[in-house]
Structure 1
Amino acid sequence: MVNKINYNVAIVIVNYRTGELVVNCLESLKAIFNQSVKVVIVDNSSGDNSVDLISNWISNNENAYLICSENNLGFSGGNNLAMESVKKMGFSADFIWLLNPDTFVRENALQHLLTFMQQNLQVGIAGSRLEDSDGKPQCSAFRFHSVLSELDNGLRLGIITRLLQNWQVPLPISDVPVSVDWVAGASMLIRKQVFDDVGLFDDKYFLYFEETDFCLQAKKSGWPCWYVPASRVVHFVGSSTGVTDGSKKRRPRYWFESRQRYFLKNHGWHYLILANLAWGLAFLLFRIRQKIQNKQDNESEFLLRDFVNFNFFNK
């Protein structure tokens, strides 16, 4: 039994051509909507039937709102638009809960996050345990990216991975709350004071790395991030973007742009060059070993070529 804690919470969902998923997510949330818990959905100029589907669902709920953007603002811009709209509504939110459209919220997921935040007033950001529909946990808590994590991610060699385990980005899945560098934006509860100190999301990130960057800025301002596994949220990975680990789908250009911005903004040009060299050379060695050992190719199409073209030739 989870004690009910009364805070004003604005739930934010950004949609792009995933109207059915948004409605599915809203269905899992409807029991908690009230004068203290409102949801704002931003449609990022989907151009499909998303607006109709979402409008039909929210027509019977006075605590749900749909904002239609004229342009696709990406994850950062969409969330910023929603949060600015919450202010204009005159709703004083103590917390903002970011949810992906491709999620389904388990019972008491929000209350577990709020309970943790009430008990840990120094914590600025809390993330849920993301899981498959059968309850299998997904990795949703991470370390910050570094040159050594780029080396390990590119090389994928067991002995090197073991040596660099303290620099690996994905953290071991924990059954108890743990302090982490960042959590997945698919379910991220953020204290209002964090926005007061840090500002909104950096809208120069279109998609990817924006939550990593935000958690880093929050940490620099004295707001740590924690993973709270009692809060459980089903995440249908890749349903909204189509890009997942192990997917052969070609990485979009904005993924490379976001990665570059993260390293450049937070570490400078020299560090970015080292990170690029570490990953590029390591991944080349991985591909050579893969060919020699005749292993199955499960990598994104043209990944190395696109990485080299973007980072070294700006193509």
Structure 2
Amino acid sequence: MKTLLTVILNWRTADMTLSAAEVALREMKGIPGALTIVDNDSGDGSYEKLSAAVAERGWDKGEIPVRVIQSGHNGGFGAGNNVGIRAGLPGGDRPDYVYILNSDAFPSVGAIRALYNHLEDNPKTGFTGSYVHGEDGTPHRAAFRFPSIAGEFESSVRFGPVSRLLHRYIVAQPIPETTTRVDWLVGASLMMRQSVLDEVGLFDETFFLYFEETELSHRAAAAGYPSDFVRTSTVMHIGSVSTGMKTWARMPSYWFDSRLYYFTKVHGRGYAALATLSLVFGSILWRLRLLFQRKERADPPHFLRDLIAHTARSIFRHRA
């Protein structure tokens, strides 16, 4: 039977991480493997608390052994998960599948098994992901198309006729009602074939946060390993607990860094420049509409200003 390694990345959410681990252990029963908690250099006593709790509960000696390791450096989401993936199973063996679960995500009954079975039944599929909903049951977007110049314009201009014209490029596609093939999946509940990671590489650690799973999925798809959204796998995701995204006053600089790096790495500097121009142009048109229509701004405060400033700084750094 194929082995599974579950990796949960912790950053200053020790209690919630333990709760997520408890649910994951329940859902891994009958699947050989292990669970690794990676503390991403929290610096708040999380590592010690997690280690003590795992030992106290006997998880380290359980049927599915749990261990806590320290990343030693907070390099972001991808880098932290890479620490757990590289560590492999206890004893150093490589698993057949790797399951990335957010510390604030809780798989429903059968959720992990559904992803596992889908990879077993579909050997050409590289990655599988879950249907995700919030605490109140509200569905979260979890299946996406790859970003593009047209997609950047559509998302920023927010105009029905444009969206209908460019419907094939909308990144946040409607939530699929059945299991289906997609471009990429949200990293809150993502199962990956280890052999694919061995071939295409792990998360690119240049990304601190955001776009890392997008780029990894693009790499896998380019190598012939697509991603599938598995509707029968359901996960409750609280969201933004570690990042604090819900309380952001404005978009952090690392979001702009990740976005630009994604387009540059995948498509080149020229394409990245056009994608940014498309986003800026669409955002300007949207703001012109706001002068005449009563609509919520929708963008985070200072988004357009920060985007233009970040682009200018990036051009200056490149020329220097």
TM-score category, normalised to shorter length:
over 0.9
Indicate the residue corresponding to 2:280 in structure 1.
Answer: 280
Report the 3-state secondary structure (helix = DSSP H, G, I; strand = E; otherwise coil) of the residue aligned with 1:185. Answer: coil
Report the 3-state secondary structure (helix = DSSP H, G, I; strand = E; otherwise coil) of the residue aligned with 1:122. Answer: coil
**Partner of residue 40 from structure 1, selected from 32, 36, 40:** 36
Contact in 2 for aligned 1:117/1:126 (Cα 8 Å): yes
Paired AA for residue 129 in structure 1: Y
Q: How does 1:213-252 map to 2 (within 5 A)?
A: 213-243=215-245, 249-252=249-252
Alpha-carbon shift at residue 188 of structure 1 (Å): 0.7
Gap runs ≥5 in structure 1: 1-5
- TM-score between the two structures when normalised by the length of structure 2: 0.91
Cα distance in 2 for residues equivalent to 1:273 and 1:182? 23
Indicate the residue corresponding to 1:290 in structure 2.
Answer: 290
Indicate the residue corresponding to 2:258 in structure 1.
Answer: 258
Indicate the residue corresponding to 1:58 in structure 2.
Answer: 54
**Partner of residue 165 from structure 1, selected from 167, 182, 185:** 167
Paired AA for residue 110 in structure 1: I
Cα distance in 1 for residues equivalent to 2:73 and 2:30? 30
Indicate the residue corresponding to 2:108 in structure 1.
Answer: 106
Cα distance in 1 for residues equivalent to 2:294 and 2:135? 34
Report the 3-state secondary structure (helix = DSSP H, G, I; strand = E; otherwise coil) of the residue aligned with 2:34. Answer: strand
Q: Does 1:24 align with 2:22?
A: no
Report the 3-state secondary structure (helix = DSSP H, G, I; strand = E; otherwise coil) of the residue aligned with 1:292. Answer: coil
Cα distance in 2 for residues equivalent to 1:22 and 1:170? 28
Indicate the residue corresponding to 1:85 in structure 2.
Answer: 87
Alpha-carbon shift at residue 35 of structure 1 (Å): 8.0
Contact in 2 for aligned 1:45/1:68 (Cα 8 Å): yes
Paired AA for residue 266 in structure 2: N
Aligned residues: 308
Q: Go from structure 1 to structure 2 and tell me whether the alpha carbon gap of 1:248 and 1:81 turns closer, same or farther (over 3 Å shift).
A: closer
**Partner of residue 140 from structure 1, selected from 142, 149, 164:** 142
Alpha-carbon shift at residue 69 of structure 1 (Å): 2.1
Indicate the residue corresponding to 1:3 in structure 2.
Answer: none
Contact in 2 for aligned 1:41/1:66 (Cα 8 Å): yes
Alpha-carbon shift at residue 78 of structure 1 (Å): 0.7
Paired AA for residue 157 in structure 1: F
Cα distance in 1 for residues equivalent to 2:241 and 2:287? 28
Cα deviations by residue, 1:173-220 (Å, 9 ceiling, x for unpaired): 122110100000111100111012101111111111000000000011
Cα distance in 2 for residues equivalent to 1:296 and 1:97? 38
* Aligned Cα root-mean-square deviation (Å): 1.8
**Partner of residue 181 from structure 1, selected from 180, 183, 190:** 183
- TM-score between the two structures when normalised by the length of structure 1: 0.92
Gap runs ≥5 in structure 2: none
Report the 3-state secondary structure (helix = DSSP H, G, I; strand = E; otherwise coil) of the residue aligned with 2:93. Answer: coil
Q: Does 1:11 align with 2:13?
A: no
Cα distance in 2 for residues equivalent to 1:114 and 1:88? 20
